[in-house]
Amino acid sequence: MSQPNMIDWSSLVHLFLMDCKSRNLAKTTIRRYRDGLKNIEQHLKTQNLEWFDLTSDLLKHRIIPSMLDGALSLRTVNCNLAIIKELFAFLVAEKQADCNIADGLKPFKVQPSLMHTFTDAHLTRLFTQHDRSTFTGFRNYMMMLILLETGIRLNELTQLQITDVLLDEGMVRVRHGKGRKARMVPIQRIVSHELHLYLLERGTLYTDRLWITLDNRPFDEGGIRTMISRICKTANIQDVQCSCHTFRHTFAKKYLLNGGDIFSLKNILGHSRIETTEMYVELFSRDLQIQHEKFSPLEQIIQEFPSIFTESEVHGE
């Protein structure tokens, strides 16, 4: 590894994050890089290494084992390795490193984690907690309705503007998707009608943000998290994690069980890779099997015309 200027770690991180900002990466991505780099720094110190000491072998035989010994999950280790790869790509471009030491390293295989979903009973209790005669009650009801109807992420919900609600088209425009990718997400008649009522109640304000507080300020992510947690507590839902992502998982599960195809689901959820969407199929495979048993076209035909299909008889020679 060349050491042209022997730049220190903190200066290196600063330059890297400034480059990320100049490339207009999402704030959540930059925050994830910053947090990951802090963790990587700790493991460099544990191994008494400077960043410019690193080689592929040292990364493989000292840094990665240090991360694993530190009880980091495989998912977090994979994330750290991806950050190191991004960092060294930047260093190579800036002629601060000869090569990318993370090239060729394969991520650890991670088993899909359990996805919490709401049952119909949960949803019934959640949606009956709101006093829709008040603005805050109606607003909270609408936010949860949109989460369930669209499966959008918390930050996507927070960033919605009134111009993103396309009632005539039956669509919501998500401008701030993961990786800064915009997409259109369909909504159906009932939700469109409720959104129309909410927009009338909201009125015209100085801010275009869709969700606002009583003092007309944009409703932030922390406020939405607190609201959902409070409503779940009031509804006495204790057997499932209550979060925006639980609504997202519930949407995906119901979409698949109701016959939605995986490619459309990928686009609606804003996944960049079909493999991410396929995890839902794997995790909900038993539910899909039960649903297929209920609606199998062949089983329905057999029940209606049992004489057409008889058990085959195989005769040996």
- What's the pLDDT score for residue 87? 94
- What's the pLDDT score for residue 107? 85
Instruction: Using pLDDT thresholds of 50, 70 and 90, give the confidence band for residue 140.
Output: very high
- The CA distances from residue 296 to 70, 256, 260, 290, 306, in Å, are 49, 15, 15, 10, 15
Instruction: Using pLDDT thresholds of 50, 70 and 90, give the confidence band for residue 314.
Output: very low
Q: Given a cut of 80, is residue 166 above it in pLDDT?
A: yes
Radius of gyration of the chain (CA): 25
- % of the chain at pLDDT higher than 90: 56
What is the 3-class SS of 289-313, one letter each residue? Answer: HHHHHHHCHHHHHHHHCCCCCCCCC
Structure-model confidence comparison of residues 290 and 186, the more confident one: 186
pLDDT tens per residue across span 292-311: 555 556 555 556 666 655 55
Beta bridge partners of 80: none
82 neighbors 107 (Cβ within 8 angstroms): yes
211 neighbors 164 (Cβ within 8 angstroms): no
3-class state of residue 239 by DSSP: coil
- What's the pLDDT score for residue 299? 56
Structure-model confidence comparison of residues 26 and 152, the more confident one: 152
Average pLDDT for the chain: 86
Structure-model confidence comparison of residues 147 and 309, the more confident one: 147
- The CA distances from residue 41 to 35, 84, 106, 159, in Å, are 10, 11, 21, 33
The Cα 283–Cα 249 span in angstroms is: 11
The Cα 247–Cα 69 span in angstroms is: 34
Q: Which of 36-40, 271-275, 301-305 has the lowest mean pLDDT?
A: 301-305
Q: Which of 18-27, 57-66, 251-260, 279-288 has the lowest mean pLDDT?
A: 279-288
- What's the pLDDT score for residue 28? 81
Residues 6+ apart with CB under 8 A from 160: 146, 172, 174, 209, 210, 211
State which amino acid sits at residue 199: L
> Quick one: how far is CA 40 from the chain centroid?
24
Q: Given a cut of 90, is residue 38 above it in pLDDT?
A: yes
First to last CA, the chain: 73
- What's the pLDDT score for residue 70? 73
- What's the pLDDT score for residue 280? 77
Q: What is the mean pLDDT of residues 55-75?
A: 88
The Cα 142–Cα 146 span in angstroms is: 6
pLDDT tens per residue across span 239-265: 998 999 999 999 998 888 888 888 888
- What's the pLDDT score for residue 81? 93
Q: Given a cut of 80, is residue 281 above it in pLDDT?
A: no
- What's the pLDDT score for residue 5? 55
Q: Given a cut of 50, is residue 1 above it in pLDDT?
A: no
- What's the pLDDT score for residue 259? 82
- 261-266, long-range: CB within 8 Å, 24+ apart, which pairs? none
- What's the pLDDT score for residue 118? 92
Q: Given a cut of 80, is residue 315 above it in pLDDT?
A: no
What is the 3-class SS of 167-181, one letter each residue? Answer: CCCCEEEECCCHHHC
The Cα 76–Cα 70 span in angstroms is: 11
Instruction: Using pLDDT thresholds of 50, 70 and 90, give the confidence band for residue 157.
Output: very high
3-class state of residue 79 by DSSP: helix
Q: What is the mean pLDDT of residues 175-183?
A: 77
Q: Which of 12-26, 106-120, 167-181 has the lowest mean pLDDT?
A: 106-120
Q: Given a cut of 70, is residue 35 above it in pLDDT?
A: yes
- H-helix or E-strand containing 183? strand 183-186
Longest dimension (CA), the chain: 85
